Amino acid sequence: MKTVLITGCSSGFGLETARHFLDQGWQVVATMRTPRDDLLPRSERLRVLPLDVTDAASIRYCVDAAGPVDVLVNNAGIGLLGALEGIPMTQVREIFEANTFGTMAMTQAVLPQMRQRRSGVVINITSSVTLKALPLLAVYTASKAAVIAFTESLALELQPFGIRACVVLPGRSPSTRFAENARSRMQGSIPEAYAELAERVFANWAQQPAGEVTHGHDVALAVWRAATDPSCPMRLPAGADAVALVA
């Protein structure tokens, strides 16, 4: 029985992906900053572990406790909306610590065991904003674009050891906490000069048709394909809007 370790399972894409792998009979290690036992169905194939991907000690504990991992899904991350001019560099570093360096650190921690077994899959969740530039998302987009470049090079490094690396690119989802989390960090990050632009951006998001967004099961299915289909492309869009951008 194979094991998948998924980061950021307290909500959204991570939670839906954990449910899907459980339904498929896999052993699931679902990680969260603050573990909760009531989010996923009770199962002897499920373990919920604490994990902060920005903390080296937390990563070591999690990987040791998880044991052999066949598939790593780097999903944990945070959002940020704002004009670059109004975002403190401390906040920029916070985004990169979670979205970019956290992904790298988790991958680095799991790779030795995969290399020794000469098998494994690393799946990094990025974003479709890397496919089409949008205002007020420069920092967030940069953190996710860096993950794509990282994964492309990593895939070449790992190929001789029978390990695959790929990315899943979700579109905009009304069912995740991205907007909620991003807006909570937006305080003061949109100077008055950018207020009109911000109003237009939020209005456009509100008008996006319901059929042109990404749902949790879209991402779960894309991750499942990446984990189980060696012939799948390295970049997998997830959700109607992301698929349309790729097309």
Tell me the C-alpha distance between 190 and 85, whole Å: 8
Q: Which long-range contacts (CB under 8 A, 24 or more apart) does 148-157 make?
A: 148/124, 148/235, 150/100, 150/103, 150/104, 150/124, 151/122, 151/124, 151/234, 152/234, 154/107, 154/122, 155/234
> 81, 189 in Cβ contact below 8 A?
yes
> 77, 33 in Cβ contact below 8 A?
no
158: closest CA among 194, 208, 114? Answer: 114
Known active-site residue 61 = no
Tokens read off for 208: 């996006």
Burial class (CB in 10 A: 0-12, 13-18, 19+), 79: buried
Tokens read off for 116: 């020794």
Measured over the CA atoms of residue 2, residue 4, residue 10 and residue 16, the dihedral's sign is negative
Contacting residues for 129 by C-beta, under 8 A, at least 6 apart = 137, 140, 141, 144
Tell me the C-alpha distance between 52 and 36, whole Å: 14
Tokens read off for 28: 């699931």
The active-site residue, picked from 21, 140, 150, 178, is: 140
Residues with a known catalytic role: 140
